[in-house]
Structure 1
Amino acid sequence: MRLVLASQSPSRRMLLEQGGVRPVLRPAHLDEDAVVATLGDVSPAETVAALARAKASTVVGEFPDDVVVGCDSMLLLDDELLGKPHTVDETVRRWKTQRGKQAQLLTGHAVAYRGEWVVDTVTTTIRFGDVSDADIEAYARSGQPLECAGAFTLEALGSWFIDSIDGDPTSVIGLSMPLLRRILYRFGLDASDFWQPQP
């Protein structure tokens, strides 16, 4: 039995590997905007959960006897749900809006095992630092935040700019390890079932 990660996120892969798991990587190729357009008027938590399930659904058929994990994260700032900025200019614009503010990072999780699904969302409060224009420009031009929900990471250069969080730090990085453990228990599995010997 293996753990399959329906994501190309290096941060999610890193979390699993640091937790002793060598995941099978099967990035989901998905038009996220098209998925969101089909949802109608749903809550932010339901939106990220639906995206996580859509990602896992793209690969679950290949792995009927393995655990398949899909995740999606978005930032809820001033009642607006924000995904990845993709460009330097958009990253700069977002940081000038969010600096000094508090927001919620929502990470949806969808886990499938032998036809059973558990779908849940973790919410963590982020307090952004009051960051200078020069640091915003330099961070955006580094490229690190361009493909990250909310235009930030807790690790690497982003560690300078997050004053505090209230909640699960692994969910902010992209995958809640405590939630994944609880989901595995619901399937009658243990986290240690997936640990690999370290080289």
Structure 2
Amino acid sequence: GAGVEAPTLVLGCDSVFEFEGRAHGKPYEPEVAVERWRAQAGRQGVLHSGHWLGLVLPESGVGSGMAAEAGVVSAVVRFGAVTEAEIQAYVATGEPLHCAGAFTVDGAGAALVDGVDGDPNAVIGLSVAWLRRATAALGQDFTRLWEPSNARR
């Protein structure tokens, strides 16, 4: 297959929301999102974000190699005591349907979250602090990701 010419980082992340001892993914359906919000309003749960960072090494005469780091970063999310009208309006935006736990902290849902105890970036889906540590553990310079050729466009 095709190889890489320089060391290449490959990142994968996904999240699950733990509430009352159960794991909750994305609700997908408005009715499910409303039900979850009715249960979690005024309460708290834990958002777990799983991370995997692979380092693909350039091909050598013997073949190619890879190393990886994996980890989970968790944060407690405290929800406001929201009203039924607020729940209905938020779910109607469509935003919570494709998010673990039926909420975001970087969109409209931020107004319904009273606070986050832990890494707020992990709640968004990527702990940048974990990424920096994992990049270093793989022997790579994290600041290289800030170079213009690697910047988000």
TM-score range, shorter chain: 0.7 to 0.9
In structure 1, the residue corresponding to 2:98 is in which secondary structure? coil
- Distance in 2 between residues matched to 1:174 and 1:62, nearest whole Å: 30
> What TM-score do you get using the length of structure 2 for normalisation?
0.86
| One of 25, 29, 34 as aligned partner of 1:83 | 25
1:69 aligned residue: 11
| One of 151, 157, 182 as aligned partner of 2:102 | 151
Unaligned runs of 5+ in 2: 57-65
- Distance in 1 between residues matched to 2:2 and 2:85, nearest whole Å: 47
Paired amino acid for 1:160: A
- Say whether 1:108 aligns with 2:50: yes
Paired amino acid for 2:91: A
2:36 aligned residue: 94
Report 1:111-150 matches (<5 A). 111-114=53-56, 115-150=66-101
User: Do the aligned partners of residues 133 and 62 (structure 1) sit closer, same or farther apart at CA in structure 2, a change above 3 Å counting?
Assistant: farther
In structure 2, the residue corresponding to 1:153 is in which secondary structure? coil
Which structure carries more relative contact order (alpha carbon 8 Å, separation 6+)?
2
Paired amino acid for 1:164: G
2:63 aligned residue: none
| One of 131, 136, 139 as aligned partner of 1:185 | 136
What is the number of equivalent residue pairs in this alignment? 139
- Distance in 1 between residues matched to 2:35 and 2:87, nearest whole Å: 9
C-alpha deviation, 1:90, in angstroms: 0.7
| Structure whose residues are more often strand by fraction | 2
- Distance in 1 between residues matched to 2:72 and 2:43, nearest whole Å: 22
1:40 aligned residue: none
Structure 1 stretches of 4+ with a deviation exceeding 6 A read none
- Distance in 1 between residues matched to 2:146 and 2:92, nearest whole Å: 37
Structure of larger gyration radius: 2
Deviations 1:74-105 (A, max 9, x none): 10000000000001111100000111111100
> What TM-score do you get using the length of structure 1 for normalisation?
0.66
Identity of counterpart residues, as a percentage?
Answer: 39
Unaligned runs of 5+ in 1: 1-60
User: Do the aligned partners of residues 192 and 63 (structure 1) sit closer, same or farther apart at CA in structure 2, a change above 3 Å counting?
Assistant: farther
C-alpha deviation, 1:62, in angstroms: 6.9
